[in-house]
Amino acid sequence: MIVCRHDTAVVVLSYNGRELHQLFFPQLIAESHGRYDIVLVDNACTDDTAAFVAKHFPEVSIVRLSVNKGFANGYYEGLKQIEAEHYVLLSADFEVTTGWFDPIHQLMLQNRDIAACQPKIRYYKDKKMFEYAGAGGGFIDRWGYLFCRGRIFFTLEEDLGQYNNNIEVFWAGGGCMFVRADVYHALGGLDADLYAHMEEVDLCWRMKNAGYRIAYCGESTVFHIGGSVISYGSPQKLFYNYRNSLILLLKNLPAGKLLWVLPIRLLLDGVSGMRCLLKGEFTEVKTIIKAHWNFFGTFGKWYKKRQVSKKLITQKNESGIYGGSIIVDYFLKKKTKYTDLNIEDKLIMPAAAAGNRTQK
C-alpha cells in the first residue's frame, strides 16, 4: 500500500510507456512539488519501463501488476493500493502545463459535492485545437450520444478562450480526471467490463445518480496525443462506441426512460448502419452488427450491474443532459459547435460556488 504524503495522487497507468514517460514526466514532476504525489501503475509491462522510471524519476512511486488488466481494470487494481483523498487518473500520453493542478484542486476543495473534474484538453499535435476525448467538458443527449464543448462528432474547434469558464458538465474525460477517492471506491470505480471506452462516462453517471456534480475547469490546460489505447476510427473503437453506448443506457437510465430510449437508440444505430452500407463501408456495418450481438448476448450481465447501481442511487443530478438530439442538430441543422446549441446559460457554475455537502 502506498500512503501519499499529499492529499492527491496523480496515477499514471502504463503499458510499455517508457518513451511517453521520458517525454512527459519531467514537467509532471516539476509541477508536483508541494502539491501531489505521482504513482506509476506498471500494467505488466514487457519492456524496461518500470526500471527506467525507477532509475531516472525516483520521485515516482511504482505499483506493479503481475497481469495486464487493461485500462479500466488496471486502474481498478492499481488504485486499491494507493491511499489518498483525491486521485488524478492521468493517461501516459498527456502533457501537463505550468499551473495545471491548483485550479482544479481548489475547485474541488471549495465544492465538496464535486466528485470528478477535468481540465481543458487540447490536441498535442496541434496545440491550438481542442482534443477529441474530453475537450471542454462532456455532455450527453437524450438518446445517449456524447459530445463536448469544443468537439461535436467530427468537428474540433480552435481554442479561442471561448471555454475558459468553470461549469458543471455530465462527464469528465477519463484521460485526465480528478476524482474523490472515497466516492470512487464507494461507487465501485471504473467498470472493468467496459474495457477501454466510455468507462469514465459510466462512472460519472453513477456519481450523478448518487447526487454529486461533475465539473470542467477552464483555468487548467493539458495536451493529449490521443489514440494511444485504441486508434481513432479503428473497427475496435467503433465496436466499443456502439456497444458501450447501449450498456450505459441500460445501466444508468431510469426504468421509465429506458423502455422508450433504448429502442429508439437501437433504431438510430440501424439508420447509421444503413448509411454505412450505402456508402460501401462494409467493415463498419459488420462492426455495428457485432456490437449489437455482443450487447444482447451479454444482456443479463449488464442488467445485474444495473441492479447493483440502483442500490446506490440517492438524489439524481441530471445537469448536463441535453434534451435535444445532437444527431439532428449536427447532421441536419448543421450545428457543428457547442455554442450553436444555445444551452450554455443553464450550465454556468462559478469556481467558488457554494455546495459544500458532507461527503458520503
- Which residue in 91, 96, 107, 117 sits closest to 172, CA to CA? 117
Q: 177 and 10 in contact (C-beta within 8 Å)?
A: no
Query: Which pLDDT belongs to residue 70?
Result: 84
In which order are the strands placed within the sheet that holds 151-152? 155-156, 151-152, 146-148, 138-141, 321-322
Q: How far is CA 219 from CA 102, 125, 180, 282, 351, in A?
A: 9, 21, 20, 44, 9
43 Cβ neighbours under 8 A, 6+ residues apart: 13, 14, 15, 65, 68, 69, 70, 74, 78
- The crossing angle, in degrees rounded to 10, of helices 18-32 and 49-56 is 30
Q: 41 and 78 in contact (C-beta within 8 Å)?
A: yes
C-alpha cell of residue 216? 470542467
| Residue 180: strand pairing partners | 86
Cell 463536448 found at: 148
Helices (H), 62-180: 70-79, 101-110
Query: Which pLDDT belongs to residue 348?
Result: 43
| Residue 118: strand pairing partners | 216
pLDDT tens per residue across all 360 residues of the chain: 999 999 999 999 999 999 999 999 999 999 999 999 999 999 999 999 999 999 999 999 999 999 998 888 899 899 999 999 999 999 999 999 999 999 999 999 999 999 999 999 999 999 999 999 899 999 999 999 999 999 999 899 999 999 999 999 999 999 999 999 999 999 999 998 988 789 999 999 999 999 999 999 999 999 999 865 555 568 888 999 999 999 999 999 999 999 999 999 999 999 999 999 999 999 999 999 999 999 999 999 999 999 999 998 888 888 888 988 999 999 999 999 999 988 765 444 443 333 444 333
Residue 258 CA to residue 266 CA, distance in Å, equals: 12
> Which domains can be identified in the chain, with CATH numbers?
2-224 (3.90.550.10)
Say what the pTM is: 0.93
Residue 194 CA to residue 184 CA, distance in Å, equals: 16
Query: Which pLDDT belongs to residue 83?
Result: 98
- Which residue in 212, 309, 207, 201 sits closest to 251, CA to CA? 309
Query: Which pLDDT belongs to residue 356?
Result: 41
Phi, psi of 120 (to 5 degrees): -70, 130
Amino acid in position 155: T
Phi, psi of 212 (to 5 degrees): -90, 165
Query: Which pLDDT belongs to residue 349?
Result: 44
Query: Which pLDDT belongs to residue 342?
Result: 83
SS3 content of the chain, % helix, strand, coil (to 5): 40, 20, 35
Query: Which pLDDT belongs to residue 358?
Result: 37
